[in-house]
């Protein structure tokens, strides 16, 4: 009867050697393709202390490690053209960022509602189009390589919900052509950077039906890709449900196609900075939780924007050019990555054990009970973090069972880490 009246939750946690290298593999970053155009118009950025700094320095300080840059073929005034992309990529590389290149295969925006051919390609036959896609991909990537930039990911098309290079490559009318164009970009990428991962990017990461239709069509027509990319732009009222649907979709993509997944664009209204922070933390942790390291990362779209630049209101800087609290979410990803490494074979040693966190009742109200295996019983550090990444409880323990007073911390979801210098275990609990 005692057990019928008490809710007991047993969280089984893997103990693994978690290296900083593995934690760094989770991509947390931003698309900042507007940066040079904004600087040309007089934009300046400041850290949270009000000190003017280079944008890349500020983003690096917020915990980001990846920069995404879009490429247009022959854009107005050269912004996002080849030379502009090289300049930004070199800056990002020198600042220590990993690089993703996003080919739109257009002179301007390519997205679900427009996939216009570049003017120079407007009269090409389909054979000429596939050759042009290959040559353009090779040309830009070769130029980047010649400037010392290593590209880690390449998007072949941007938000290709209904294909690219319309009408020839419109998926709803000619899935075969769509697949052939994807393959042209894939082959061009591998010709320059054989180890780069090729991304096919579709918007509305919550829409499993759209993704199945798109990638079933590509698979059935022999398309090649390495990563399924997603966009997600929720509101205050729906971010929790969309994140859950996005996670379900990501897991389905991994299971259905055997490919990795990545959220390559996210954003939320700048005025909702705290909601955006919570959205990002939840999404990054969900993405990092996908088994076997198949959730690669999350990137914010143009967070440096403020003052309604070109009508965009989903930046993550305030009107004084300082980062909002939303960007603090990226500092928590190291915790998510540590949890992810427990399911990533590349991060595991041959010695795997487990221990239980027992909480009575559930959720925890005032006291958390930890039970440790012999490997950690000789002495270990316990740290409890809130979901912003701040340590709220720290103590050293010795022995098998421990009771930790959590009555003073706020309600919410917490991460607990136990570390003896050689092994580390990570888990979660709810406080109410």
- Positions marked catalytic: 159, 265
The whole-angstrom separation of Cα 273 and Cα 281 is: 12
Paired sense of beta strands 98-103 and 66-71, if any: parallel
Q: Taking Cα atoms as reference points, which of 429, 431, 432 lies closest to residue 358?
A: 429
Region class of 10: left (phi > 0), else alpha (psi between -120 and 50), else beta: beta
Burial 335-363 (b: 16+ CB within 10 A, else e): bbbbbbbbbbeebbeeeeeebbbbbeeee
Contact partners, residue 3, CB within 8 Å, separation at least 6 = none
Paired sense of beta strands 197-202 and 380-385, if any: unpaired
């Amino acid at each position: 009867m005692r057990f019928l009246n008490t809710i007991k939750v047993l969280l089984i946690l893997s103990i693994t050697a978690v290296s900083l290298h593995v934690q760094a593999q989770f991509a947390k970053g931003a698309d900042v393709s507007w940066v040079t155009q904004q600087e040309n118009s007089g934009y300046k950025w400041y850290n949270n202390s009000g000190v003017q700094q280079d944008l890349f320095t500020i983003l690096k300080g917020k915990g980001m490690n990846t920069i995404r840059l879009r490429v247009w073929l022959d854009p107005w005034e050269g912004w996002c053209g080849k030379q502009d992309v090289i300049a930004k990529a070199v800056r990002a590389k020198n600042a220590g960022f990993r690089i993703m290149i996003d080919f739109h295969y257009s002179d301007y925006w390519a997205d679900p509602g427009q996939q216009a051919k570049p003017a120079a390609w407007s009269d090409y036959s389909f054979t000429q189009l596939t050759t042009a896609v290959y040559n353009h991909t090779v040309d830009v990537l070769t130029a980047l390589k010649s400037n010392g930039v290593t590209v880690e990911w390449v998007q072949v098309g941007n938000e290709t919900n209904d294909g690219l290079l319309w009408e020839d490559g419109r998926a709803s009318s000619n899935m075969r052509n769509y697949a052939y164009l994807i393959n042209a970009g894939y082959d061009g990428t591998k010709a320059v950077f054989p180890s780069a991962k090729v991304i096919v990017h579709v918007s509305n990461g919550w829409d499993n039906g759209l993704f199945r239709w798109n990638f079933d069509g590509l698979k059935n027509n022999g398309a090649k890709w390495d990563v399924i990319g997603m966009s997600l732009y929720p509101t205050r009222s729906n971010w929790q449900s969309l994140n859950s649907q996005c996670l379900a979709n990501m897991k389905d993509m991994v299971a259905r196609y055997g490919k990795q997944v990545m959220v390559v664009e996210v954003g939320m209204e700048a005025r909702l900075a705290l909601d955006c922070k919570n959205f990002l933390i939840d999404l990054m942790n969900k993405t990092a939780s996908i088994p076997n390291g198949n959730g690669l990362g999350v990137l914010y779209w143009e967070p440096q924007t403020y003052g309604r630049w070109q009508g965009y209101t989903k930046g993550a800087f305030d009107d004084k050019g300082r980062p909002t609290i939303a960007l603090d979410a990226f500092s928590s990803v190291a915790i998510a990555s540590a949890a992810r490494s427990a399911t990533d074979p590349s991060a595991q040693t041959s010695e795997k054990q487990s221990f239980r966190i027992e909480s009575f009742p559930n959720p925890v109200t005032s006291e958390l009970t930890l039970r440790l295996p012999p490997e950690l019983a000789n002495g270990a550090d316990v740290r409890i973090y809130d979901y912003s990444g701040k340590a709220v409880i720290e103590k050293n323990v010795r022995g098998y069972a421990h009771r930790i007073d959590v009555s003073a911390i706020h309600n919410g979801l917490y991460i607990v880490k136990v570390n003896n210098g050689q092994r580390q275990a990570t888990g979660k609990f709810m406080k109410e």
